[in-house]
């Protein structure tokens, strides 16, 4: 295992029972993501992209194999330990923003920091910095319903990195946006990842966006393969 690897998958298997059938989604998946590296995950719908991201981000347990985050074996940890690692070391961005509708953009970005234990003044300062970096600072006090789709997704990205995670996992983060807005949001996401030195795995159908990352991988018969 490379010392500089933030995420390592070793022989990871993930299976689901569907009636009398067993669906094998991940079948001995092997992967390493280095510090500061960005990797595009490009695969057709149903290939297992979301399952891979959920397993790598400790939202799902592997049925076999192991997931290492920052050198720590995490696949068999208890729920409390897995939750703490996700809160501190992993950021998630989804196709839908999942912002809390009753809170402003600023409050949504503050929330994970407050859970992490920061003082409100500290959380607000960092949240404003992130929103400004995402070029949405002027909309900080607007609720999600008052924001455009691209603005909502930029707030979601700022929230995902609010606790300075080691790893960012994004599942079709621009999939709900028109091409022009998608490109603008991806520009902001890429700049933030590069600036902060994050390691990122981003699932996308957009080959133009994928080509801008350090390398591309796909899923073939439940295994991760270079593209």
Q: Give the CATH number, domain containing residue 131.
A: 3.40.50.300
In-domain check, residue 3 = no
In-domain check, residue 4 = no
What is the model's pLDDT at position 200? 93
Range of the domain at 167: 36-62+78-226
> CB under 8 Å to 154, separation ≥6 — which residues?
134, 135, 136, 185, 188
Q: Mean pLDDT for each 10-residue chunk of the chain (227 residues)?
A: 80 90 92 93 87 94 94 91 90 88 96 92 94 91 94 91 92 83 83 85 88 93 91
Q: How far apart, in whole angstroms, are the C-alpha atoms of residue 64 and residue 200?
A: 24
In-domain check, residue 20 = no
In-domain check, residue 166 = yes
In-domain check, residue 13 = no
Q: Strand runs (DSSP E) across the chain, as ranges?
A: 5-18, 21-34, 38-41, 64-69, 72-73, 90-93, 167-171, 199-203, 215-220, 223-226
Q: pTM to 2 decimals?
A: 0.89
What is the model's pLDDT at position 1? 53
What is the model's pLDDT at position 54? 93
Burial of 151 (0-12, 13-18, 19+ CB in 10 A): buried
How many distinct structural domains can be found in the chain?
A: 1
In-domain check, residue 16 = no
Closest CA to 71 of 3, 13, 166: 3
What is the model's pLDDT at position 182? 83
What is the model's pLDDT at position 205? 85
In-domain check, residue 108 = yes
What is the model's pLDDT at position 185? 82
Q: How far apart, in whole angstroms, are the C-alpha atoms of residue 200 and residue 37?
A: 6
In-domain check, residue 120 = yes
What is the model's pLDDT at position 45? 81
Note whether 166 and 129 are within 8 A (CB): no
What is the model's pLDDT at position 2? 52
């Amino acid at each position: 295992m490379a010392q500089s690897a933030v995420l390592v998958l070793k022989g990871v298997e993930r299976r689901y029972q569907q009636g009398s059938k067993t669906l094998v989604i991940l079948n001995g998946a092997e992967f390493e993501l280095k510090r500061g590296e960005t990797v595009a995950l490009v695969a057709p719908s149903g290939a297992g992209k979301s399952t891979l991201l959920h397993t790598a981000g400790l939202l799902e347990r592997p049925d076999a194999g192991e997931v290492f985050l920052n050198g720590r074996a995490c696949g068999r940890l208890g729920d409390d330990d897995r939750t703490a690692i996700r809160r501190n070391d992993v950021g998630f961005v989804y196709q839908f923003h999942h912002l809390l509708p009753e809170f402003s953009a600023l409050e949504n970005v503050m929330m994970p920091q407050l859970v992490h234990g920061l003082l409100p003044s500290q959380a607000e300062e960092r949240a404003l910095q992130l929103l400004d970096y995402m070029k949405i600072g002027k909309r900080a006090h607007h609720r999600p319903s008052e924001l455009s789709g691209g603005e909502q997704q930029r707030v979601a990205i700022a929230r995902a990195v609010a606790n300075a995670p080691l790893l960012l996992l994004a599942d079709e983060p621009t999939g709900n946006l028109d091409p022009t807005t998608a490109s603008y949001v991806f520009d902001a996401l890429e700049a933030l990842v590069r600036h902060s030195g994050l390691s990122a795995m981003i699932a996308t159908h957009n080959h133009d966006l994928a080509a801008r990352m350090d390398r591309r991988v796909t899923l073939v018969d439940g295994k991760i393969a270079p593209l």
